[in-house]
């Protein structure tokens, strides 16, 4: 069973601060995805990282995939209240076609104005 552990579980910061959240596994993943979920909504895909060591930027968000493809991080620069939400990492399962996503428990981020 492939498990994804996310840390921290909760994070409350002031507007303008920087933060990093982590997603770790003992298993190698062919790719990892990051989602953001807001209350009452389904997860929305932010990014997919595929290559070990890859860094992707999405405005103030920077995503990194570990060299060994076992971990990933999400760094937010100058957080804004609109960044508030549950951040989930997910990876494809072992089954052929990689359709079955395994999710971490998420990091619940609150950005205080």
Partner 1 sequence: GAGVSQTPSNKVTEKGKYVELRCDPISGHTALYWYRQSLGQGPEFLIYFQGTGAADDSGLPNDRFFAVRPEGSVSTLKIQRTERGDSAVYLCASSRSRSDTQYFGPGTRLTVL
Q: Are 30 and 92 in contact (CB under 8 A)?
A: yes
By CB under 8 A, name the one of 29, 34, 43, 70 that touches partner 1. 43
Tell me the closest approach of the beta carbon of residue 94 to partner 1, in angstroms.
Answer: 11
DSSP track, the chain? ----EEE-SEEEEETT--EEEEEE-SS--S-EEEEEE-TTS--EEEEEE-STT-EEEETTEEEEE-TTSSEEEEEESS--GGG-EEEEEEEE-SSTT--SEEE---EEEEEE-
Does residue 85 bind partner 1 (CB under 8 A)? no
Judged by beta carbon, residue 7 or residue 18, the one nearer partner 1 is: 7
By CB under 8 A, name the one of 19, 74, 90, 111 that touches partner 1. 90
By CB under 8 A, name the one of 7, 12, 15, 45 that touches partner 1. 45
Tell me the closest approach of the beta carbon of residue 100 to partner 1, in angstroms.
Answer: 5
The contact set with partner 1 (CB under 8 A) reads: 4, 40-45, 48, 88, 90, 92-93, 95, 97-106
């Amino acid at each position: 069973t492939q498990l994804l552990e996310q840390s921290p579980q909760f994070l409350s910061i002031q507007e303008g601060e920087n933060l990093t959240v982590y997603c770790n596994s003992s298993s190698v993943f062919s790719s990892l995805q990051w989602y953001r979920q807001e209350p009452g909504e389904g997860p929305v895909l932010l990014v997919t990282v595929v290559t070990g060591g890859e860094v992707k930027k999405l405005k103030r968000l920077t995503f990194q995939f570990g060299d060994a493809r076992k971990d990933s991080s999400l760094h937010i620069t100058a957080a804004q209240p609109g960044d508030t939400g549950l951040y989930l990492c997910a990876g494809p399962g072992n089954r052929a076609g990689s359709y079955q996503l395994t999710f971490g428990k998420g990091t619940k981020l609150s950005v205080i104005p």
